[in-house]
Amino acid sequence: MATLGMSAAEREALDAFKRDVIDASRNALVIVDFWAEWCAPCKQLAPILEKVAADYAAKGVKLVKIDVDENKAIAAQLRVQSIPTVYAFFQGQPVADLTPAQTEGQLTRFLDQILAQLPVEGEEQQIGAEIEPLIAMGEEVLAGGDGERAAGIFAQIHEMAPDNVDAVSGLARALIAAGRIDEAKALLAGLPEKLAADPALAQAKSALAILELAPAGAETAGHERRIAADPDDHEARYELAAALMARGERDGAADQLLESIRRDREWNEGAARKRLLQFIEAVGLEDPWASTQRRRLSAILFG
């Protein structure tokens, strides 16, 4: 910013701007709120900015308020023509105009998009980098079938970062694998609304839903007899698949549903296909079993 012709007070304000905004934004995302005491819309927006900045502080977001009446030179050089005007600064440069965000929801959506694209270094990001290899370890142990040990690993990660959705998902799935169903339910039920809605938890929720449909240990002999007597008994195949899946017999569960789809893909509004997709989601799309079943399903539907 040009300093030629500035008064001592203006130079002091510029030094403060460099310190609080330019320098502070080297690693953080600094929200700069240009306001004035006489501006009613500024006063309405201020509590929203302050709340969101506080909520996002761990993500590396800071709020700086600049009174345009006391900082006319700065406002002029940044071409602030009306107030409230809200800019986001990163690495010394304005990276976004947040002025259109007038509600908490709009502002958080803006910030989520910005933070997803910029290497902001907040406390949460630093913790995320530290626990990333631990999460990979937990997933490896869980994939190896040791639900109890995986639950111990994910529990430690969850204690370090309670709002990390990958840690929550891993812990819930590990608890389910270890047979600690009530603990998994309590974990998911006690999540804050925003975290509970995260798509990353879909796999754990689907696994619980499967157990709700057919608890482990559900009998299968009756369904098998019904199918032997009538191979087109789709309801028996549907229920048998849930029971098999609940006790870990994934191949058998998929076989029953795929056979039902092969015989009548429209039965009960495509219920067999929907349940198979639910099973695939519960196992995880990255699992080789899931890929195999998706190929088998496609061969029936499009072959």
Query: How much of the chain exceeds pLDDT 90, in percent?
Result: 65
Q: Which positions are annotated as active-site residues?
A: 39, 42
The lowest-confidence range among 47-51, 157-161, 286-290, 296-300 is: 286-290
Q: How high is the pLDDT of residue 5?
A: 59
Residue 42 has pLDDT above 60, yes or no: yes
* Residue-averaged pLDDT of the chain: 90
The pLDDT-based confidence of 24 (bands split at 50, 70, 90) is very high
The pLDDT-based confidence of 6 (bands split at 50, 70, 90) is low
Q: How high is the pLDDT of residue 263?
A: 96
Query: Cβ neighbours of residue 71 under 8 Å, at least 6 residues apart?
Result: 13, 17
Which tens digit of pLDDT belongs to each residue from 267-301?
999 999 999 998 998 888 888 899 999 999 999 99
Which tens digit of pLDDT belongs to each residue from 53-70?
999 998 999 999 999 998
Rounded average pLDDT over 38-64: 94
